[in-house]
Amino acid sequence: MRPRLLIRALTALGLAAALLTSVVPAPPAIAADRLPGGGCDPIVPTECLLPFPDDWYTRADPASPTGRRVAFTPGTLPAAFPGRPIDPAAWNRATGFSPGSTLLVQAPGLDLAVTGTAPITDIGRSLRPDAPIVLLDAETGVRWPYWAELDANATSAGRQALLIHPARNFLDGHRYLVALRGFKDAAGVPLTAPGPFARIAGPDLPATDPLRPRQRQLRPVLHQLARHGIAPGTLYLAWDFTVAATADLTGDLTAIRDDAFRRLGDRSPGYVITKVTDHTEAEDARIAREVEGVLTVPSYLNLPGGPPGSTFFRGPDGRPRRLPLNTQAAGFRCEIPRGAFTTPSTPALYGHGLLGSRDEVAAGNVKAMAAEHDFTFCATDWIGMASGDIPVVIGALLDPNLFPAIPERSQQGMLDALFLGRALVHPGGFTADKAFRTADGRPLVDNAHGLGYDGNSQGGILGGALVAVSPDIRRGVLGVTGMNYGLLLDRSADFARFQGVLDLSYPDKLNQQIVLGLFQMLWDHGETDGYAGRLTDGHQVLMHIAYGDHQVANIAAEVEARTIGARLVTPALAPGRSPDRIPYWDIPSTGPLPYHGSAMVVWDSGTPSPPLTNTAPTEGKYGRDPHGDPRNMATARRQKAVFLRTGEVVDVCGGAPCQADPG
């Protein structure tokens, strides 16, 4: 979706970022005694931070809602190019790990097919009584579904990660037990447990044994697994981890939202209209007026005006606070359809795609939606993940010390969007301005249906978080969506242009998987993955999926649907179209339409099914990219419009699987 000019710019910026990063002073060292054992978990001696996530890398904290606090040290985190240690401060605020965590471990010689692990095509197998991988909720005793795969990007069998992906996000604040058993190689020979773990799982070790403290920590895990029929002697490996609490995952964004809206009170946000463009019908048959301007939004970033690279300014309690008089100038653009001059239009926010800008609101499909269904769409740049942030994104791939700026500035971008939405629906806001009225003073926007949200691609991935925290949005459409960048990046054709930068910083593919897991712990605060467990509490969302999408992997949308409780519009695909044993496993059907509630609709353009590995589809073997097809269908736009106004999902495909015309 990005032009060739951007690709050349990325290369140049990557080299510049590398030079800049290399001269930034290293962060101060943090005492290793903050970890229970002062270093790497001894149960897997091959690589620090494996297994991941792992409560070994947490400490007890009575003030934490989970009772735990992440406690990484620079020595346990993979050093960034060129050998610069990572300051763990941003991670160590967490009360646990990501609810979408991919579990990482090594099992040299493992053959997944011979072992019988659950593949991506048969997630239900993960819950069989004899499943070789067991994920168990320590609080409820409930088994958790997953699929397992070996990292297809690994360049060496000795450095290949086993990836275990939750098929539904883990529950916020819960602790999970992991048991690996019955692992076999290609010849069916059982794999021997790692030596340190075998000793820990055996008889009590002498008090002088270095593994004795770890054995004492793991004993409750082994005992609980034994109560569920998993004997210590059958294990290849076992450990536990805690998921971050909801207040941790969403607390920064809700804190700045609450403070900003408290300061705002019952007023409209302040703004300035900078440009009004009226089009003749010959110039634009769909849009009659474009309005551009700048909102003034309280800024909680640590630099005046919150430029790219800014992070939150935090108070003594660790929460974001506002520097005196610091504001964000949030540019916006609104597209008002011709029909609004006859019948006032329905207001909606639009969320742009990957590293784009608010100008995407003028794309042909958005104009078509506005004109066909009388919507006024307004957009602001999703700062943190907008075009101006590209150098920071590249720099963060080179040096994870820069990464907190991405999700933290993204949250400020969400606040900007929340203020834009309030200005759009407030009676003293846009609707009172002559730019949003006819020549004779009639309003062009009608708030009777409330405020909607429509976003595509990145606008869908981040948009779920925006919908979850908005006081004004009732319903949102998440187009060609998914969640969890840690899961998505390997599977996205978009990431190919960034992969070379990550390869420069972390040439080892095993370390890359660890880094993606670390990134996700922070990204949760600025994308849907951290909000999914609460997304449909008081809100409704409609997910539109492009089957075989090259940019946003379908499997990430399926995990999201299970997590938020969205139902599947069926039939979703023609018989035999999916390679899965049970397509869309454990996503219940809406039943006959119309359906009132959150739902997922699959649009099929005939693109081949996506890869069954953690790799991206490519043009050729996997056909053309259908990423843009659903939004370009008039029927899909009609379904979106009805949903945004009524909350009903209506049948626009004649009771058959929805087909999209290849663009």
> How would residue 38 be classed by pLDDT, with cut points 50, 70 and 90?
low
Q: Residue range 32-61: average pLDDT?
A: 82
Angle (deg, nearest 10), helices 364-373 and 634-646: 60
Contact 419, 473 (CB under 8 A): no
pLDDT beyond 60 at 31: no
> How would residue 83 be classed by pLDDT, with cut points 50, 70 and 90?
confident
Three-class SS of residue 135? strand
- The residue ranges of DSSP E strands in 197-251, in sequence order, are 235-242
| pLDDT tens digits for range 97-145 | 999 999 999 999 999 999 999 999 999 999 999 999 999 999 999 999 9
How confident is the prediction for the chain on average, in pLDDT?
94
* Cα of 578 vs its chain's centroid, Å: 24
Q: Residue range 243-256: average pLDDT?
A: 98
Give the pLDDT confidence score for residue 45 in this predicted structure. Answer: 84
One-character DSSP codes across 3-55: -HHHHHHHHHHHHHHHHHHHTSPPPPP--GGGSSSSSS-TTSTTSTT-SBS-G
Instruction: Please report, for residues 188, 225, 264, the alpha-carbon distance to residue 141 in angstroms, rounded to integers and kept in the order given.
Output: 31, 10, 46
Contact 478, 546 (CB under 8 A): no
Rounded CA separation 288/175 (Å): 55
The pTM of this model reads 0.94
Give the pLDDT confidence score for residue 19 in this predicted structure. Answer: 34
| pLDDT tens digits for range 531-576 | 999 999 999 999 999 999 999 999 999 999 999 999 999 999 999 9
pLDDT > 70: what percent of the chain?
94
* Cα of 105 vs its chain's centroid, Å: 22
Q: Residue range 421-446: average pLDDT?
A: 97
> How would residue 299 be classed by pLDDT, with cut points 50, 70 and 90?
very high
Residues 6 or more apart whose CB falls under 8 angstroms from that of 390 comprise 6, 9, 10, 13, 355
Q: What is the radius of gyration, based on Cα positions, of the chain?
A: 25
Residue 511 corresponds to which tokens in the numbers above?
């370390």
| pLDDT tens digits for range 318-342 | 999 999 999 999 999 999 999 999 9
Give the pLDDT confidence score for residue 14 in this predicted structure. Answer: 44
Residues 6 or more apart whose CB falls under 8 angstroms from that of 63 comprise none
- CA dihedral sign of residues 430, 432, 438, 439: negative
Q: Residue range 611-616: average pLDDT?
A: 98
Residue with tokens 């007890």, as numbered in its chain: 60
Per-domain boundaries in the chain = 1-28+247-361+387-445, 32-244, 450-484+527-663
pLDDT beyond 60 at 16: no
DSSP assigned state of 589 = B
Give the pLDDT confidence score for residue 12 in this predicted structure. Answer: 40
Instruction: Please report, for residues 558, 583, 646, 653, the alpha-carbon distance to residue 588 in angstroms, rounded to integers and kept in the order given.
Output: 11, 11, 22, 19
User: Other C-beta atoms within 10 Å of 22: how many?
Assistant: 13
> How would residue 22 be classed by pLDDT, with cut points 50, 70 and 90?
very low
One-character DSSP codes across 518-542: HHHHHHGGGSGGGTGGGTTSS-EEE
| pLDDT tens digits for range 174-227 | 999 999 999 999 999 999 999 999 999 999 999 999 999 999 999 999 999 999
Contact 305, 272 (CB under 8 A): no
Q: Residue range 66-78: average pLDDT?
A: 96
